[in-house]
Each structure stands twice: as C-alpha cells, then as structure tokens.
Amino acid sequence: MSETVLLHFSGADHPGLTTALTGLLAEYDACILDVGQAVVHETLALGLLIELPSGSVFEPLKVALLAKAQSLGLHVRFTSISHESLKHWLAGQSKDRFLITLLGRAISAQQLSRVAAVLAEQELNIDRIERLSGRLSLAVHSPNANACVELRVSGVPRSQDEMRAAFLRLAQEFPIDIAFQRESIFRRNRRLFAFDMDSTLIQGEVIDELARMAGVADQVVKITESAMRGEIEFQESFRRRVALLKGLQGSRVRELLDKIPLAEGAERLICTLKTLGYKTAILSGGFTFFAHHLQARFGIDYLHANELEMANGVVTGEVTGAIVDGPRKAELLRQIAEQEKISLEQVIAVGDGANDLPMLKLAGMGIAFRAKPLVRQSASHSLTHLGLDSLLYLIGVRDRDLDTLECFKPVAVS
C-alpha cells in the first residue's frame, strides 16, 4: 500500500521555499493530495499532505526533508495518516462550506473568540482565516478605518436561525457586523447591485428635507409615524405627504442636490463596482430628480423612483405614474434580473426601511444597511458600523486589490 504523510513546515518566510521543498518531493515521486499555506507577519506555515508511490518507504525522504528544512531555517513535523483517516478526510470534501465575515473599525481577540465560540456551538469547523482589509493594527488609530476578517468554515450547522440570532446579539454587544453566507458559485459571480436611495446611498430623506423647506415638517412626521404604526398603508401615506409640498418652488427643490451628502463609502463602492463591470440600480421610494442626479454622477444602469409633479416651476402636490413601494421594488428587481439574464442569486440588494424588505428577501443577498431594528432582524445580512464600501468585502474584494485599480471616475454634474 502507498504511504500517506502530513508535512508541516514553519519558520521565517522568504522566496524559494516552496520551490526547494516541492523539488525535493518530486525527486521521490511524491503526489500532493492537499496543500495549504499562510504567511502571518512574515512567518510561514505550510502544510502538505503527500502520498508516496506504492511500495516506497518514507524514511529516506524524511531524512532528506529534515536536512532541507534545517538548511532553509524551517521547522518540520511529520504525521503518518492512516487509511481510515484518509477516507474520513476524503468524505469531508463534500461538506457544506460557508463564509463568515467579521467587520468593524477594529477587531479584538475577544470579538473573534466570541464568533469562534458560536461556530463551535454549531459544530462548524474553521478551515481558514484571512484578512481582507488593510493592516488591522492601524485600525485602532483611525476612527474611519475598515477592519475585516473572513472565516471559511465547513460542516452542517445545527440551526442556521439560532446561529444568525447569536451573531445578531454579538453585533449588538460589540461595534461589529457579522455576515454569514454559503460558499457557492453564485457568491463568486454576483452581477447586479440594487440600492434604495434615501438613508442608504444618501444621508437623509429627501421628502423630509422638502417638508422643512415647505414649512410642513411636523405634519409630514405625524403621517410617517402613523404609517409606521400600520394605521395607513405606504401609498396613501406617501400621497398625503407629497400633497403637503404643494406650492414649493422648483428652484428650492433643486437646492437639495448639493445639500444632502452621500452615505459613507458610497462613492468608493459604486466606482469600484462600475470598474469591475457590475450592473447597478436605484430602486427608490424617493424622487427621480435626486435619483437622476446620482445616476448621471455614477453611471447607474437602472433607475426607478417616484416622479414629483411640477407645473409652471411649482410642485403640484401630486406624483405621476405608479408609486414605487415595497412590492413594486421587488417586481422591478425581478424584471431587471430577467433583462440582464442573470439569476436572482447573483443579485445583491441594499436598503434600510421596511419597504425594502421585499427586494432584500428576493435577492440572493439582501443587506440591511444602517437600518431600523425590525429590518435588521428580518434581513439575512446587516451592516451598521462601517460604510457602504464594506460591501466589497462580502464579494471577496480585498483592500490590496484596489490599491492599483484605476477606478471609474464620477462625473461632475451641473
């Protein structure tokens, strides 16, 4: 029978180590069954699962490996793998695999420990841990830094609902976000990002700002609160609020284009997505005049919002066309996916309000961004502590990937 051995090398990393070690293995006709390597702070950890030809004896190779490791400044350990252990390992290759993404301004040992404890309770094995953000030590000194660690795990969770609930509790206890997604071909091939606009892409609600201009802010707030209590459905509450804007000058409306800032990280996110060839959409219960402004600036591919009617340069208090509410957002998202000939699993939807939930639940990944508590609990993913650009980590983009990227440049909008 052939002999199977696990080799583990550790020591200071430098160029040529892999060449030297695999070259020696080649002299003994060793077959590499598995390999894994990590470098942390210029220190190497390399594992090689090898199989020797039938009838071969490992002892001569062991002696040669010990001498080679010593000459390279490495430590080496050998573990003989039994036939039963090899069969168990091969069977485990078909296990489900998941990605756990831990995000914050900084990541502490306590936070990582608590996340790992949840995974252990769910009987999931951590196969790999990788940093996606820049150097984590610098995050402590910068309040606007991103820190992100991705854990690749395998196994069958005892209860995904219980695990998500545990992650949500940790996100409430610590200033971190935790995303959980199944590793799949769709995760590596997202194609469309769909965004709500108000309080998602921009820092505020356009209708609230218009209400302040019109001197009806208190009345609009009362209608909004009534709708949130379920006393008025969304379309009726929206029409009532718009009616209060009647008589507002169009010139005042356009002043908002320069007054409401983008959400943190929005420009970096969208510019990167456009550079990488993703399609983008705004599906908003807000107004087209502001959404068109963003579309022109960033080259957004699809836009659906509400048309604030004007006559003779004055707001009439009416909206034209169908109102974009929750169900309408979901239907529009489905239509765009069909038009692009992509699966809904390849879609990421981002929003903050209850009327975003239908599209968040329809998309392959629905993300509640700095959302209300009910929305955070209902969505499959929630981000609260970092900016919109942290979504890039969820599609596997590392900070170092962007260092030399010639990013799509936003255009000046007059």
Average pLDDT over residues 381-405: 89
Banded model confidence at residue 414, pLDDT cuts 50, 70, 90: very low
Q: CB neighbours of 258 closer than 8 A, spacing ≥ 6?
A: none
User: H helices of 39-155, where?
Assistant: 59-72, 83-92, 109-121
- Report whether 66 contacts 84 (CB < 8 A): no
The pLDDT tens digits of the residues spanning 73-96 come to 999 999 999 888 887 777 666 678
Rounded mean pLDDT of the chain? 90
Q: Kindly report each contact of residues 309-312 with a partner whose C-beta sits within 8 Å and lies 24 or more positions away, as own/partner.
A: 310/250, 310/253
Q: What are phi and psi of 74, to 5 degrees?
A: -115, 155
Both tokens of 10, joined, read 């550790």
Of the ranges 122-126, 217-221, 386-390, 397-401, which one carries the lowest mean pLDDT score?
A: 397-401
| H or E element that contains 377 | helix 373-378
- According to DSSP, the β-strands at 176-182 and 97-104 are antiparallel
What is the model's pTM?
A: 0.83
Residue linked to tokens 């209300």: 372
How many H helices and E strands in the chain? 16, 15
Q: How far is 362 from 189, CA to CA, in rounded Å?
A: 17
Confidence at residue 189, expressed as pLDDT on a 0 to 100 scale: 86
The pLDDT tens digits of the residues spanning 202-216 come to 999 999 999 999 999
Both tokens of 181, joined, read 């997604």
Q: Is the pLDDT of residue 410 over 60?
A: no
| H or E element that contains 159 | none
Q: CB neighbours of 10 closer than 8 A, spacing ≥ 6?
A: 43, 44, 45, 46, 74, 75
Active-site positions? Answer: 196, 198
The pLDDT tens digits of the residues spanning 324-353 come to 999 999 999 999 999 999 999 999 999 998
Confidence at residue 139, expressed as pLDDT on a 0 to 100 scale: 43
The pLDDT tens digits of the residues spanning 110-143 come to 999 999 999 999 999 999 999 898 865 544 445 6
Both tokens of 358, joined, read 């239908």
- According to DSSP, the β-strands at 147-154 and 125-131 are antiparallel
- Report whether 280 contacts 302 (CB < 8 A): yes
Q: How far is 42 from 25, CA to CA, in rounded Å?
A: 24
**Exposure on the CB side of residue 271, measured as CA atoms within 13 A:** 14
Confidence at residue 234, expressed as pLDDT on a 0 to 100 scale: 84
Domains, the chain, ordered by start? 3-91 (3.30.70.260), 96-182 (3.30.70.260), 192-407 (3.40.50.1000)
The pLDDT tens digits of the residues spanning 218-257 come to 999 899 888 766 688 888 999 999 999 999 999 999 999 9
